Every structure is written in C-alpha cells, then in structure tokens.
Amino acid sequence: MTQKSLEELIGKLLRERGWLLAVAESCTGGLIGHRITNIPGSSTYYLGSITAYAY
C-alpha cells in the first residue's frame, strides 16, 4: 500500500464532495499552490491562489 500525500488526500475529498479550493498565501510564498498543482487533475477542484508578500 502506498502512502498518499496530504495534498492528494485533500484533492480526493474535494472531488468526492464537489467542492472547489482557492488559497491566499503570504509567508508560505506560494508553496501551498505549488504543492496542490503538482497533483495531476488538480485543475478540476483548484481555482488558484494569491500570494501577497511584502518585504
């Protein structure tokens, strides 16, 4: 049995429930969006993200 990543498990739940996801990030610098979009088929539930970061 292969262990699934957190983003794969979240994607599975979102698809099963017909929910969509959008995120707003700051200190993560876009890492959440990056990890989600690395999952094949994530465009079916992932709307996108905004990364607001100030120096």
Q: How confident is the model at residue 50, as a pLDDT?
A: 97
Domain positions in the chain are: 6-51
Q: How confident is the model at residue 15, as a pLDDT?
A: 98
- In three-state secondary structure terms, 51 is strand
**Per-residue model confidence as pLDDT tens digits over 4-36:** 999 999 999 999 999 999 999 999 999 999 999
Is residue 13 within 8 A of residue 39, CB to CB? The reply is no
The tokens describing 13, both together, are 């739940």
Give the DSSP H/E element, type plus range, for residue 38.
none
